[in-house]
Amino acid sequence: MSDFTDFLIERGIISNLMKRYGINVRDNEVNDFIHKIVENLSEIDSKEIYHKEKGDDHSFELDIMAKLYEKDVPHSQRKIMGEFFTPIQIVDYILKSVGYIDQQDIENRKLIDLSCGSGSFLIRAVKVLLGKLRKQATPKGNSELTPEQAQMIISKIIVNISGIDISPVACILCQVNLYFSLFEFFKIIVKENKDYLIPEFNIINKDTLQYNFTNKYNYVVGNPPYLFIRAIPQKHRKIIEKLPLKTNKGQYDYYQLFIEIGIKILEEGGALGYIIPDSLLVLSNRKIIRIHIYHLTRIKEICYLGLGFKEPVVSNIILVLQKEPREKERLNNKILIKQSLKNDRSESYLKQHDIGKWDYNFLINLTQRDINILEQLNSGFPKLFDIMKDSRFRILISRGVELGKEGEIIYCEVCGKNLPLPKGNLECPECGSFLNSNSVDKIVVDGISKESENAYVPFVYSLNRYVIRNYKYIKLGVEGINYKNHEIYKSKIVIRQLSQENMICAAYDENAFTSQSIYNLKIIQTPVLEFNQYYLLGLLNSHLLSYYLIKSFSSYKRLFPRILIEKLRSLPVKIPESNEEKGLANKIIDLVKKISISCKKDDNLYIKLQNSLDSLIFDLYNISEEQRLYISNFIKVGKKSN
Ligand SMILES: C[S@@+](CC[C@H](N)C(=O)[O-])C[C@H]1O[C@@H](n2cnc3c(N)ncnc32)[C@H](O)[C@@H]1O
Distance from the CA of 138 to the center of ligand 1, in angstroms?
Answer: 36
Report the C-alpha dihedral over residues 254, 257, 261, 264, rounded to 10 degrees.
160
> Do 199 and 283 belong together in one domain?
no
**Atom from ligand 1 closest to the CA of residue 116:** 6
Summarize the confidence of residues 269-292 as an average pLDDT.
Answer: 94
**Atom from ligand 1 closest to the CA of residue 167:** 25
Summarize the confidence of residues 479-492 as an average pLDDT.
Answer: 94
Determine the angle formed by the axes of helices 64-72 and 168-181, rounding to 10 degrees.
Answer: 150
Q: Verify cis geometry, omega within 30 degrees of 0, for the bond prior to 325.
A: no
CATH number of the domain to which 294 belongs: 3.40.50.150
User: Which residue has the least CA distance to atom 6 on ligand 1?
Assistant: 116
DSSP letters spanning 19-30? HHTT--TT-HHH
Q: What pLDDT does 49 receive?
A: 39
User: Which residue has the least CA distance to atom 25 on ligand 1?
Assistant: 167
* Residue 480 domain-assigned (yes or no): no
What distance in Å separates the CA atoms of residue 512 and residue 26, rounded to the nearest whole number? 65
> Do 234 and 196 belong together in one domain?
no
> Do 182 and 317 belong together in one domain?
no
> Do 247 and 178 belong together in one domain?
no
pTM equals 0.79
> Do 527 and 637 belong together in one domain?
yes
User: Which residue has the least CA distance to atom 7 on ligand 1?
Assistant: 85
Residue 70 domain boundaries: 1-207
Q: Per DSSP, which regions of 363-496 are E strands? A: 394-399, 408-412, 417-420, 441-442, 444-445, 456-464, 467-475, 492-496
Q: What pLDDT does 553 receive?
A: 82
* Residue 368 domain-assigned (yes or no): no
Q: What pLDDT does 68 receive?
A: 58
Does the structure show a pLDDT above 90 at 502? no
> Do 171 and 278 belong together in one domain?
no
482 or 71: which carries more pLDDT confidence? 482
Ligand 1 pocket at CB < 6 A: 66, 81-86, 113, 115-117, 120-121, 164-167, 170, 207-209, 222-223, 225
> Do 148 and 274 belong together in one domain?
no
* Residue 454 domain-assigned (yes or no): no
Which tens digit of pLDDT belongs to each residue from 358-368? 889 998 888 88
Residue 384's contacts (CB-CB under 8 Å, 6 or more residues apart) are: 395, 397, 568, 569, 570, 571, 573
> Do 45 and 92 belong together in one domain?
yes
DSSP state at residue 315: -
Summarize the confidence of residues 378-390 as an average pLDDT.
Answer: 96
* Residue 133 domain-assigned (yes or no): yes
Which tens digit of pLDDT belongs to each residue from 628-639? 999 999 998 877
- The rounded percent of the chain whose pLDDT value lies above 90 is 63
**Domain finish residue from 335, 356, 377:** 356
What distance in Å separates the CA atoms of residue 282 and residue 362, rounded to the nearest whole number? 6
* Residue 236 domain-assigned (yes or no): yes
**Domain finish residue from 207, 236, 263:** 207
**Domain finish residue from 207, 238, 254:** 207
Distance from the CA of 250 to the center of ligand 1, in angstroms?
Answer: 22
> Do 348 and 317 belong together in one domain?
yes
> Do 340 and 201 belong together in one domain?
no
User: Which residue has the least CA distance to atom 26 on ligand 1?
Assistant: 83
> Do 124 and 174 belong together in one domain?
yes
* Residue 578 domain-assigned (yes or no): yes
* Residue 457 domain-assigned (yes or no): no
**Atom from ligand 1 closest to the CA of residue 113:** 6
Distance from the CA of 271 to the center of ligand 1, in angstroms?
Answer: 19
Question: What is the pLDDT confidence band of residue 53, given thresholds at 50, 70 and 90?
Answer: very low
* Residue 603 domain-assigned (yes or no): yes
Q: What pLDDT does 57 receive?
A: 35
Angle at the Cα of 242 (from 238 to 248), degrees rounded to 5?
Answer: 85
Distance from the CA of 165 to the center of ligand 1, in angstroms?
Answer: 6
> Do 114 and 30 belong together in one domain?
yes
How many domains are contained in the chain? 3
Q: What pLDDT does 554 receive?
A: 72
Distance from the CA of 69 to the center of ligand 1, in angstroms?
Answer: 13
- Report the candidate in 262, 267, 224, 266 with the shortest Cα–Cα distance to residue 245: 262
Mutate to test the pocket of ligand 1, among 165, 227, 229 (most ligand atoms within 8 A of CB): 165
Distance from the CA of 371 to the center of ligand 1, in angstroms?
Answer: 37
Q: Per DSSP, which regions of 297-372 are E strands? A: 297-306, 316-323, 334-338, 348-351
